[in-house]
Chain A
Amino acid sequence: MSGSGTNVNLDQAIGSLPVPLSQRNWGGLLAGAVSITAGVATWSFVVGGFTANYVDARMGTAAMLAGGLISQFLISLAQIPPVTKYGLETVTTTKPQLGTRGSAFALFVQYLTLIGWNCVLIIFLGRAIGASLVQLGLITAEIQEGVATAAAVLTTFGIWVLLLMGAEGLKYTGVVVAIGIFVIGTWMYVLLVQTYGVSAIASAKPVAPLPQGRLMNYSVALEVLLVSTLGWWAYMGSMFRMVGTASKAIYPSMGSLGLGWAAVGLIGLYAGLVVGQPDPTVWIVEIAGPVAGVGVLTFVILSNLGSALVGAHAATLGFGQLPAVARNLSWASKTFAVLIPMFIVEMFFSTAFYDNIGTFMAFIGIFIAPIVGVQIVDWFAFKRIHRLHVPSLFRHDRRSCYWYLGGFNIVGMLSLALGALTYVLLLDPVTFVPNSDIVQYTTASLPSVVVGGLAYYIGMRLFGDLDPEARLKQ
């Protein structure tokens, strides 16, 4: 089942089993580099541009940075303790809360989040390559679409090759991409400020604010970053299970996935306000010419490839939780199987997928908020972080103390449903139009986290099995 020989990488050897403490050897800087690689991609500019609809530069800067930090704070509490203490990947950490079989729902949410976003990134990358080749006169517009598709497919194949290296591939790619992101991101800021000036950026008005007033728009702008940042939950295990102490993990988590990705997103905010176009592959070429577009293309390739690689790695670890997969597929087969939907979407459904990705992702995001609330309560209020029975996380039958009722922790599942319902009642996740005036004081993600966590706390106290690990001692 596992690989053999001197060159077997860690993921080939252990798959989705815990990383032994002796091999959790990533320091804070490396974890930070890999995190910023995952966090920064063209989605940063999309989110920044979306925020420009609601608020100006000052309010947008505050809302984006604060939203990133608040959500990443919650995700850090939910994921860093189990992931760094026991070397677990993300889906595994949900088994005590959702049950051995119930965690399949977490796998479903994680997989759709990771592969859905990967499709967006690689389709975008393919289109950017096609557009750049046309601008440089290397291809004609007639074959641009075909070239974009081919570029996307080839890039996905390249991701598979890099994935064969497992966590080692993340390490090498992460450092290179992080440096590239920092250099080119700084250049974009300088170009924007030199071309338009700080005054013009600061005085630019929001593009399409809601009619409900300044506070509501501020709150919705905050919500954009809260719900977007919650998506990092799906990535945490893949990266931070390689770090051996929680202390080393919190700084890269907050610095890269909380602050870093939002800071790059500010480029999209300012460009959206002052240029009316957050996409740097458009506005940079307009102000600095096609050669500058090559610089942007480099950024797009590095950042999107890096994020997609981390996402695919996390998806493979989650997919490996399925018993049939864990026992029968090699690391190479698992990684390829995880990427098959990407190949299909890129070749046959790229336009339809790209045009409807907002709808798709919004409904994925509303389930992650209550998952975070449930996990925080479980680790800290019920103190399960200290008595987690790790072997039970990898048993898929009654031998697991997290079997509960037929493999499901009903309280956990219902808590997710209540948290998701809370979100939808407060805010339409597709249009981002508030359904209630209370959103201006609460946002929608934060009540969803609280309701999920509170429902889990009350439900487990009244109806749940608070100490299934004790049965094993008996």
Chain B
Amino acid sequence: MGVTQGETIAAENSDLDRKIDFLAFEPAGTDLTDFDFKMLALTGIVAPALLLLWGWA
């Protein structure tokens, strides 16, 4: 007897479930460092504030 469509779909879903389970063991990238936060603050807060003061003057 051949494999039915339902059995194929079930097998594929089971395969996807296994992939999702294994996501818990995937290595993760790195977090923002203190230096990154400082650069973000510099470009996202300090620089715009200076620009706005310059524009208003």
Please list the residues of chain A having a beta carbon within 8 angstroms of any beta carbon in chain B.
1, 17-18, 20-21, 24, 58-63, 65-67, 69-70, 72-74, 76-77, 80-81, 84-87, 218, 222, 244-247, 250-251, 254, 258, 326-327, 385-386, 389-391, 394-395
Contact = CB atoms under 8 A, between A and B. Distances in A.
Interface residues of B, number: 34
A73 B27 CA distance: 27
Nearest to A218: B56
Nearest to B52: A66
A331 to B, nearest CB: 15
Contacts of A85: 28-31
A59 B55 CA distance: 4
A62 B44 contact: no
Given A63-B55, A391-B24, A327 B16 contact: yes
28 contacts: A1-B16, A20-B26, A21-B29, A24-B29, A62-B52, A62-B54, A63-B55, A66-B48, A66-B55, A67-B48, A69-B43, A69-B51, A72-B44, A73-B40, A74-B44, A84-B29, A85-B28, A85-B30, A87-B29, A218-B55, A222-B52, A246-B29, A246-B32, A251-B39, A254-B40, A327-B9, A391-B20, A391-B23
Chain A at the B interface: SS class? helix
Given A73-B45, A250-B32, A389-B24, A65 B40 contact: no
A247 B23 contact: no
Interface string B41-53: 1011101110110
Interface of B: 9, 12-13, 15-16, 19-21, 23-24, 26-33, 35-36, 39-41, 43-45, 47-49, 51-52, 54-56
Q: Give the 3 A-B CB pairs with smallest separation, nearest first.
A: A73-B44, A62-B55, A66-B48
A62 B12 contact: no
A62 B24 contact: no
A340 B41 CA distance: 41
A288 B28 CA distance: 53
A433 B41 CA distance: 30
Nearest to A395: B20
Contacts of A63: 52, 55
Contacts of A1: 12, 15-16
Nearest to A80: B32
A69 B23 CA distance: 34
